[in-house]
Amino acid sequence: MKIFESKDGINYIRRGQMIPTETVVNMPDFHLIENRKAIGTLIESKGLTEWSFSLSANDVVYGLGQNMRGLNKRGFVYESFCSDDPNHTPDKRSLYGAHNFFVVLGEENWGLYIDFAGKVTYDIGFEDKNQLKITIEGVDFDAYVFKGTFESITKQFRALIGPSYVPPKWAFGYQQSRWSYEDATVVKEIADRFDSEDIPCDAIYLDIDYMERFKDFTISDERFPEFKSFVKDLKARDLKLVPIIDAGVKVEEGYSVYEEGVEKHYFVTDDKGKPFSAAVWPGKVHFPDFLNADVREWFGNAYHEMLEMGIEGFWNDMNEPAIFYSEKGLNEAIAFVSAQAGQNLDIYTFFTLKDKIMGLSNALSDYKAMWHRMTTRSGELKVNHYDVHNLYGYNMTRAAAEGFKRFDSDRRFFMLTRASHIGMAKHSGIWTGDNHSWWEHLKLNVQMMPSLSMAGFLYSGADTGGFGGNVSAELMVRWMQFSTFTPLLRNHSAMGTRRQEPWQFDQATLKIIRDQIRMRYALVPYLYAEFMKANQDQTLLFAPLAYAYGDSRSLLVEDQVLFGEGLMLAPVIEQNALGRYVYLPEDMVLWKASSVENLNQESFVKMEHGDHYLPLAINESAVFIRKNHLLVLTEPRNRVSKLSYDHLTVIGYVEDEATYDLYDDDGVTNQFEKGIHHKTRLTVVRVGETYRLSVDTTVTTLGNIELYIIDKNGKTHHLKQEKGVL
């Protein structure tokens, strides 16, 4: 095993010549280290690589980005293989993303990133509790091994892959979606209802219903007549529309995207070199070959027409790619079924028949029958889809992101995608796909956010309330309480399920949800600052407790997470629970957050290190402020653009001194990349029996600041600082 080392101690292992993923953008200088003892046990056989490591009894394994199960991944098998599977049940091994980065903490701390385009399987102490066995479906790959603390390992990894995608600031507002907002009238009704109910909202989504027969980049004239002025009218009210784009291009004579794609050989081909035919929503489709640079440019430019109409962002769907059936697969299945007609089927044949039909979607045999003309630095490479499967959605979204750059290089555009690879984190955010209105999926959401942060997917969130199935008022409320902190806060649901816009519930629930969304808006400056700093400093936005606390209990906490530099969240994730147990690794201040309107000295309670049972009424969620940290709120408004620094509230748990840097910028351009931003440094210092705030700021519109500072005895000091005093 040839091992290289960088000056900050990253070990780099190169096996053969990997298919480029363009994930690592900041490659440090590496030098070969001679006679270095191997890392783990690596065996190549039959085109596969098996790489094993031993785990100590108390090691925990965090990471793998978007995947099933708990924060600590030990005890199951996982795959990196982008999968369109809307049933996220515990037996599943993969979801929509392929994120090959994990960290082992325990006897020795180390992290591993496998830079590879194909399938990787991780048996993390499943077959053998003390073994971590990785199977890479190939022999050509790069790998990076990190050592250090949890924080330094994740920082080094994030530095390697470069900064994450940054959306426009309005993307931190509340977003409403549903598959079945079928026409402009319905969408306008939704918009009006938010305003008449006095519920903040910044964006409404257009799902596949807006297109003409599910054709990408078309807009149904019948259902969305005068689309351009519709977009303009909503924008005048400061509401954004976010249309969906699917990976498959409908096969239809006269449809320009299809015709141009065929003419220029832009589609993924089959074994015979013909465009590969599959069926998704539009019926028969071809898949653009996003691994080819010309195709990316062509597809990326196709977004421009809607950008010209005033659209500011999109969501890319079905880009694993999802295949309902392929022509070949369907023909074979039909032939098999027909051959059984009139027969007295034995049970095994019956099951085979059933599997033939059930197995039509997302069949590996289809992926293996698809071919790309991949652009690489050394020319065009003919590659089988299976070997680059995890790069497909990534490159679809890269096509869009590069298209946006060509449209306006200084503007930020909104972008979400479903399938992803770590290399994509620089181009777009992700939503976590088709979850269900199940309490288990609220928990999964809580547990997934830290591993997404580790993988660089800072702008992310789940379908709040759940996509499939019917949500109860209680689950909706509890989910909103958690999603209040996720950068993407989107309520989305599937056609045919119970409606879940805020007003679809009883009046009491409506009020709780309104208060909760208002709280979110009050938090936006703080959330945005935490987001931007996490991106610049390569820190985790969401983290397991072990990120900041070294005690052995913290390593095992599965249902509490750290948010940013100063908070710990302990969401209620169980039906009928009116409270929960919570573990405090040190003394903290609890805010039973229910609304930002009636804060007073009684709103904050200091709690001691250790275990507690915490009563939490349905409208209350547990937000903990860590020692010597500050939390900043502003006054809520109904749009992100209306938020200001006119009146800030600073809540802090301060023994002697705490400092907070409230980052801000214009929220719409990329000027921040050049370091152009506002900084407001808030410092709270104890002076005898009271506290003093000092403010160092470049913001000219800073107004009065109200403070709730909790001291080490648990006493709340309520202070006000007038503008003039600053």
Phi–psi pair at 22, nearest 5 degrees? 55, 40
* The token pair that represents 538 in the structure block: 């390569």
User: CA-CA distance, 360 to 66, in Å (whole number)?
Assistant: 25
Burial class (CB in 10 A: 0-12, 13-18, 19+), 4: middle
Is position 208 an interface residue for ligand MIG (rule: CB under 6 A)?
Answer: yes
Instruction: Give the per-residue contact string, 382-421, with ligand MIG (x = CB under 6 A; - = no).
Output: ------------------------------------x---
Burial class (CB in 10 A: 0-12, 13-18, 19+), 96: buried
User: CA-CA distance, 628 to 633, in Å (whole number)?
Assistant: 17
**How many angstroms separate the Cα of 247 from the Cα of each of 262, 264, 394, 397, 591?**
15, 18, 11, 10, 44
With contact defined as beta carbons under 8 Å apart, do 360 and 325 qualify? yes
Instruction: Give the per-residue contact string, 269-308, with ligand MIG (x = CB under 6 A; - = no).
Output: ----------------------------------------
Rank residues 261 and 433 by Cβ distance to ligand MIG and give the closer one: 433
User: CA-CA distance, 18 to 136, in Å (whole number)?
Assistant: 12
Active-site hit among 84, 137, 317, 402: 317
User: CA-CA distance, 707 to 703, in Å (whole number)?
Assistant: 13
With contact defined as beta carbons under 8 Å apart, do 354 and 281 qualify? no
Burial class (CB in 10 A: 0-12, 13-18, 19+), 602: exposed
Burial class (CB in 10 A: 0-12, 13-18, 19+), 384: middle
Which of 79, 142, 202, 207 binds ligand MIG (CB under 6 A)? It is 207
Rank residues 121 and 316 by Cβ distance to ligand MIG and give the closer one: 316
Active-site hit among 79, 434, 565, 711: 434
Burial 628-639 (b: 16+ CB within 10 A, else e): bbbbbbbbbbbb
Residue among 224, 151, 150 nearest 188 (CA): 224
Q: How far is the CB of 463 from ligand MIG (least distance, A)?
A: 7
Rank residues 246 and 515 by Cβ distance to ligand MIG and give the closer one: 246
Q: How far is the CB of 196 from ligand MIG (least distance, A)?
A: 26
Is position 248 an interface residue for ligand MIG (rule: CB under 6 A)?
Answer: no
Phi–psi pair at 541, nearest 5 degrees? -75, -45
Rank residues 88 and 286 by Cβ distance to ligand MIG and give the closer one: 88
Rank residues 124 and 247 by Cβ distance to ligand MIG and give the closer one: 247
Helix (H, G, I), strand (E, B) or coil at 500: coil
* The token pair that represents 554 in the structure block: 């913290």
Q: Which of residues 467-526 bind ligand MIG (CB under 6 A)?
A: 467, 492
Q: How far is the CB of 219 from ligand MIG (least distance, A)?
A: 15
Q: How far is the CB of 179 from ligand MIG (least distance, A)?
A: 3
**How many angstroms separate the Cα of 582 from the Cα of each of 100, 553, 566, 611, 679?**
31, 12, 17, 6, 34
Rank residues 322 and 333 by Cβ distance to ligand MIG and give the closer one: 322
Q: How far is the CB of 460 from ligand MIG (least distance, A)?
A: 14
Q: How far is the CB of 419 from ligand MIG (least distance, A)?
A: 10
3-state secondary structure 222-246: CCCCCHHHHHHHHHHCCCEEEEEEE
In sequence order, the 6+-apart residues with CB closer than 8 A to the CB of 32 are 2, 3, 4
506 catalytic? Reply is: no
Is position 466 an interface residue for ligand MIG (rule: CB under 6 A)?
Answer: no
Is position 317 an interface residue for ligand MIG (rule: CB under 6 A)?
Answer: yes
Q: How far is the CB of 434 from ligand MIG (least distance, A)?
A: 5
Q: How far is the CB of 464 from ligand MIG (least distance, A)?
A: 12
Is position 216 an interface residue for ligand MIG (rule: CB under 6 A)?
Answer: no
Rank residues 282 and 288 by Cβ distance to ligand MIG and give the closer one: 282
Rank residues 417 and 721 by Cβ distance to ligand MIG and give the closer one: 417
320 catalytic? Reply is: yes
Helix (H, G, I), strand (E, B) or coil at 309: coil
Rank residues 257 and 318 by Cβ distance to ligand MIG and give the closer one: 318
Strands (E), 125-247: 131-136, 141-147, 174-176, 203-206, 240-246
Size of the site for ligand MIG (CB under 6 A): 11
434 catalytic? Reply is: yes
- Which amino acid, 305? E
Rank residues 244 and 569 by Cβ distance to ligand MIG and give the closer one: 244
Active-site hit among 115, 320, 387, 530: 320
- Which amino acid, 509? T
Rank residues 223 and 373 by Cβ distance to ligand MIG and give the closer one: 223
Residue among 437, 441, 500 nearest 469 (CA): 437
Q: Which residue is nearest to ligand MIG (CB)?
A: 179
Cα 257 from chain centroid? 29
Q: How many H helices and E strands in the chain? A: 15, 44
Rank residues 94 and 539 by Cβ distance to ligand MIG and give the closer one: 94
Q: Which of residues 418-457 bind ligand MIG (CB under 6 A)?
A: 418, 433-434
Pure H helices in 467-612:
473-483, 507-537, 552-555
Instruction: Give the per-residue contact string, 147-186, with ligand MIG (x = CB under 6 A; - = no).
Output: --------------------------------x-------
Helix (H, G, I), strand (E, B) or coil at 563: strand
DSSP code per residue over 90-128 = TT----SEE--EEEEESSS-EEEEEE-SS-EEEEESSSS
Q: Which residues bind ligand MIG (CB under 6 A)?
A: 179, 207-208, 244, 317-318, 418, 433-434, 467, 492
Residues that are catalytic: 317, 320, 434
